[in-house]
Amino acid sequence: MTASALFGTYARADLDFVRGEGVWLETADGRRFLDCGSGIAVNALGHSHPHLVNALKAQAEKLWHISNLYKVAGQEELGQRLADATFADRVFFSNSGAEAMEACIKTARRYHYVNGRPERIGIITFEGAFHGRTIATIAAGGQAKYMEGFGPKAPGFDQVKTGDLDALKAAIGPTTAALCIEPIQGEGGVREVDAEFLRKLREICDAEGLLLIFDEIQTGVGRTGKLFAHEWAGVTPDLMAVAKGIGGGFPMGACLATEAAAAGMVPGTHGTTFGGNPLAMAVGNAVLDVILAPGFLEEVQRKGLLLKQRLAAVIDAHPKVFEDVRGRGLMLGIKCVRPNAEVLAKVRANGLLVVPAGDNVLRILPPLTITDEEIGEAVARIEAAAAAVEADLAKEGDGV
């Protein structure tokens, strides 16, 4: 085999998908997989959703790109729809999650700068967080494994333990600008943050004059059964990073802000060549057409509960393989007893795609359009994978 010309940054599975429809993916050699990973929580409406395909094709025939030097078709509309549906008044479109986070970080710092507190640059985040792979967002995540070899940690980022209010209060100082948290940690292992803790963060920010940033890149756009996960806690942020599901597979992200938080972002302070381009806007608007349609999110909640209950039964039946199921809506995680890589291999061998995460978890993130029958099929395949892991254990003489 010839050496690949690609960077060696990914440990890719030897799977070569060539087409997808709904929750199903097909490889070049004709094998079909049930996709409960959605390209890491991206394909919110599955593969080849007709409404998204039509929106992209229609825009592709009109105009692809013009830059933010001009008005961009669909940006005002999508921005307004996001503002109408959330706490936000202002939206900045990016190409990715990390860039949406960068926009949040810069906006928070500028807020203090224009309010006469330029020393307030510090962002406090929470252990196990993941906010992206840029120099600033690896510092925000604070995980050594993502920072190693990339020089000194960017200044202005500190981490405290989720739930530890005393540690948080001790970490807040005169240079603190904002607190930033994922309402459910995704990469960290589908770890849900207590609603009461989110409410406390809001109180602290209000008392200390800090901004609250929610990273809803993975949890947003219907994934948990609400448009955004923080709605479950009844708390709103000042800034929010969105990506993944909003493009349904087309690369895009957004930073959402209140009027006050965005006040410093005047012409020249931030920008992007591609962000908010006409193709992305057409698809983003089409995604919202579906997700905001009456009853859609209620269905996600119902199917999420069904999947969680069915998974709980599998976990009960296989205590040597699985420990528990966690998460909300269609953002679920099963904590493994056996190494998650070993379980993942068996899951894949049974024609099901899921995504590994920290804390020895496998993430189950199906398209929000998954049907009850497909949920049944996914659970059956996880059950078969568990049985296969147990069979291996028995062979090794551990007994099951």
Residues marked as binding for N(2)-acetyl-L-ornithine? 133, 272
327 contributes a contact to ligand PLP by CB under 6 A: no
Task: State the Cα–Cα distance between residues 191 and 182, nearest whole angstrom.
Answer: 9
Q: Dump strand ranges (E) for the chain.
A: 17-21, 24-27, 32-35, 90-94, 122-126, 157-160, 176-181, 184-185, 191-192, 211-215, 239-242, 253-257, 322-328, 331-336, 352-353, 355-357, 361-364
Helix (H/G/I), strand (E/B), else coil: 22: strand
Count other C-beta atoms under 10 Å from residue 383's C-beta. 17
- Nearest residue (CB) to ligand PLP, 24 versus 214: 214
Catalytic residue (choose from 87, 92, 215, 226): 215
Task: State yes or no: is 289 an active-site residue.
Answer: no
192 contributes a contact to ligand PLP by CB under 6 A: no
Q: Among 97-105, 119-127, 158-166, 377-385, which window interacts with ligand PLP (CB under 6 A)?
A: 97-105
- CA dist 276 to 88, 101, 290, Å? 17, 15, 20
Task: State yes or no: is 244 an active-site residue.
Answer: yes
DSSP code of residue 370: -
- Nearest residue (CB) to ligand PLP, 187 versus 377: 187
Q: Among 179-187, 314-322, 355-363, 388-396, which window interacts with ligand PLP (CB under 6 A)?
A: 179-187
Task: State yes or no: is 215 an active-site residue.
Answer: yes
75 contributes a contact to ligand PLP by CB under 6 A: no
130 contributes a contact to ligand PLP by CB under 6 A: yes
- Nearest residue (CB) to ligand PLP, 126 versus 130: 130
Given 49, 131, 202, 381, the residue binding ligand PLP (CB under 6 A): 131
Residues 212, 197: contact at Cβ < 8 Å?
A: no
Three-state SS across 201-250? HHHHHHHHCCEEEEECCCCCCCCCCCCCHHHHCCCCCCEEEECHHHHECE
**Number of chain positions touching ligand PLP (CB under 6 A):** 15
366 contributes a contact to ligand PLP by CB under 6 A: no
With 0-12 / 13-18 / 19 or more C-beta atoms within 10 angstroms meaning exposed / middle / buried, residue 48 is: middle
- Nearest residue (CB) to ligand PLP, 132 versus 264: 132
Shortest Cβ 63–ligand PLP spacing (Å): 25
Q: Among 51-59, 127-135, 228-236, 255-263, which window interacts with ligand PLP (CB under 6 A)?
A: 127-135
Shortest Cβ 251–ligand PLP spacing (Å): 8
Given 186, 275, 278, 366, the residue binding ligand PLP (CB under 6 A): 186
Task: State the Cα–Cα distance between residues 144 and 149, nearest whole angstrom.
Answer: 10
Site string for ligand PLP, 249-288 (x = CB under 6 A): ----------------------------------------
- Decide the pairing of beta strands 24-27 and 17-21: antiparallel
Site for ligand PLP in 15-74 (CB under 6 A): 40
DSSP code of residue 93: E
Task: State the Cα–Cα distance between residues 236 and 257, nearest whole angstrom.
Answer: 11
Q: Considering only CA atoms, which of 103, 224, 241 is closest in space to residue 182?
A: 241
159 contributes a contact to ligand PLP by CB under 6 A: no
User: Can you give the C-alpha Rg of the chain in angstroms?
Assistant: 21
98 contributes a contact to ligand PLP by CB under 6 A: yes
Catalytic residue (choose from 226, 244, 303, 335): 244
Given 107, 143, 176, 218, the residue binding ligand PLP (CB under 6 A): 218
Which residue ranges make up the site for ligand PLP (CB under 6 A)?
A: 40, 96-98, 101, 130-132, 182, 186-187, 215, 217-218, 243
**Hey, which residues are catalytic here?**
130, 215, 244
